[in-house]
Structure formats: C-alpha cells, structure tokens
A and B are shown apart, each in its own frame.
Chain A
Amino acid sequence: GENVEQHPSTLSVQEGDSAVIKCTYSDSASNYFPWYKQELGKRPQLIIDIRSNVGEKKDQRIAVTLNKTAKHFSLHITETQPEDSAVYFCAAIVNDMRFGAGTRLTVKP
C-alpha cells in the first residue's frame, strides 16, 4: 500500500519567518494530496489540498507544491504567526488516505 514519509518531525521558527514541510509518497497512482492541521486534542482540519494534475496551489499564506516525477509534495507557510503552531499532517490517496507521521510546528513570538 501507499507509504508517506514526512520531514521534519519538529520545526521551530520565529514569527514572520517561513516554514516548509516536505512529504514523499511511494505509489505513483496517488492522485490527491491534502494537508491537515491538528491542534492539541482537536480534529484534523483540512487547510489545503492539491490534485495530481496541478503543480502548485496557493491560498493566502499557505501554498503546496507537487512534483509527480519525484513523488514529493511540500507545504509552505509564509509570514508565520503564533496561531500557526500545531501538528501538520500530509496525506496521499489512491484508494484510501494514508498520513505522514506529522510535523510539530512551533512559531515563537
């Protein structure tokens, strides 16, 4: 089945800096790549997604890039704010959704 690797496991940035989280996937048939933000004790919340027919997508301070050839995709957060602090999960879907291990992002004021 699909295997999703996510790096780094923890990331600490200063407020206003950018944060980048990277994921790789194993199944070239994967066609949908969502990113979820999970605050402590809460549900995963979809923040952005990208389909395999698109290379990049942006929504305000958040952007995602996809390289199908290399089978990797990345989340970019610009102008980080303390409220961006959370665990971020990437995922890939062929027939079912497989998550990466998560990145704990800390934004220091």
Chain B
Amino acid sequence: EPEVTQTPSHQVTQMGQEVILRCVPISNHLYFYWYRQILGQKVEFLVSFYNNEISEKSEIFDDQFSVERPDGSNFTLKIRSTKLEDSAMYFCASSERVGGHGNQPQHFGDGTRLSIL
C-alpha cells in the first residue's frame, strides 16, 4: 500500500535556526497538508496546498512558515527563526483530488519530531 514518507524522523535544531521538513506524498494524490502535534495534545491543521499554491492556512501558519513543492515528488515545510514552542511532531498528509463526492481521506506520514534547543 502506498504511503506518505517524511524525513528526517527526528530533527534537533538550535533556537533561531531554520529547518526544512520534507515529505513525499502518495504519487497520485494532488492535495497536500501539514499538521502539528505538540506532545500529548491534539493534531492541529497548519496548511493545505494544491496546484502549487496554498489553499487554506490556519492562524498558526504565520510568516515564520512557508511551504514549497520544489519538484514533482517532494513537499516541504520551512520554519524560519525557530522558537522553543515550535517543538512538536509535524505530520504531512495527502489526499486525492476533491471531486463530486466531496473531501477524500487524508493519509498521514510517520511524522518528523522537531526538537528546538
């Protein structure tokens, strides 16, 4: 069964540095997402991406964050000038095109655990 893959599995970074989290969505999926989960808390929506542009973003997704699809397979989340509170698990997800049947299931990767020191 095809899977969403994320790298690295764990990223440790000094506060103030920039990090790039990488995701390879399922190959025939056209919608891509990033979510954040602080330890022991719920999964929080960050951003959705379709047709090379942001579709929706939450109040969390401020100017510190950006997303990019640099080639035909990768989808990245960049966090600039990281803060201690950015420490969390970051999940990438993808889904098939939204069609006449409404939203399609989102499939999650294993996540990247980001630790800011």
Q: A31-B102, A43-B91, A89-B43 are in contact. Are A97 and B110 (CB under 8 A)?
A: no
A44 to chain B, nearest CB (A): 5
CA distance A32 to B55 in the complex (A): 17
In the bound complex, do residue A95 and residue B42 qualify as a contact, i.e. CB atoms below 8 Å apart? no
Number of interface residues of A (CB under 8 A): 24
Binary interface profile of B, 42-69, with partner A (CB < 8 Å = 1, else 0)? 1111001000000110100000000000
- Which of B45, B56, B91, B105 has a CB less than 8 Å from the CB of A34? B105
Query: Are B43 and A46 touching (Cβ within 8 A)?
Result: no
Contact B33 A51 (CB under 8 A): no
CB neighbors of B among A65-108 (8 A): 89, 91, 93, 95-102
**Which residue of the partner chain, among A46, A51, A52, A100, contacts B106 with CB atoms under 8 Å?**
A46
Query: A43 to chain B: which residues have CB within 8 Å?
Result: 91, 108-111
Majority secondary structure of chain A interface residues (helix, strand, loop or mixed): strand
B75 CB to nearest A CB, Å: 16
Q: Which of chain A's residues 22-46 have a Cβ closer than 8 Å to chain B? A: 31-32, 34, 36, 42-46
A91 to B45, CA, bound (A): 11
- CB closest residue in chain B, given A104: B40
CB contacts under 8 Å to A, within B79-112, are: 91, 101-103, 105-111
Q: What residues on A are CB-neighbors of B107 within 8 Å? A: 46
* CB contact list, B21-55 vs A, under 8 A: 33, 41-45, 48, 55
Asked if A42 and B110 sit within 8 Å, CB to CB, the answer is yes
Tell me the minimal C-beta distance from A97 to chain B in angstroms: 6
- Since A43-B91, A44-B108, A99-B43 are in contact, a sample of 13 more A-B pairs with Cβ atoms closer than 8 Å, ordered by chain A residue number, is A34-B105, A36-B108, A42-B110, A43-B108, A43-B111, A46-B105, A51-B102, A89-B43, A93-B103, A96-B45, A97-B106, A98-B45, A100-B42
